[in-house]
Amino acid sequence: MLQADKLFVDDWNLIVADDHRLLGRMLREGAICGPNQCGGRAVDGQLGQLLAEGKRGRSHPDEIILVNPFGLAIEDLAIAKHVFQHARALGLGIRRDR
């Protein structure tokens, strides 16, 4: 995680408030810090900044980007939709009527 070229989170405030998950623990231990808040391994930004503010993500093909989206259930729904559509196109799964 510390060797990733860039580190993005969905919401920095969720990391700050989290005592149990890895990034929250790393913050408390001083291993990471918020965007523009330290000279060490800082979070490069939030996902919204990539979309709305034009913050640069990948700079070159070999760059390692780590994203921690634990607060965005909407991503789970988006992925589930694609999995469902792909399974349906392949004729996989079981249809259950209510």
What pLDDT score does 62 carry? Answer: 93
Domains of the chain: 6-70 (3.40.50.720)
pLDDT over 90 (residue 78) = no
Specify the pTM.
Answer: 0.66
Average pLDDT in the 63-74 region? 78
**Which helix (H) or strand (E) covers residue 45, if one does?**
strand 45-46
Per residue in 8-63, pLDDT (tens digit) is: 888 888 888 988 888 889 999 988 998 878 877 888 888 888 777 777 888 898 99
**Which helix (H) or strand (E) covers residue 83, if one does?**
helix 73-89
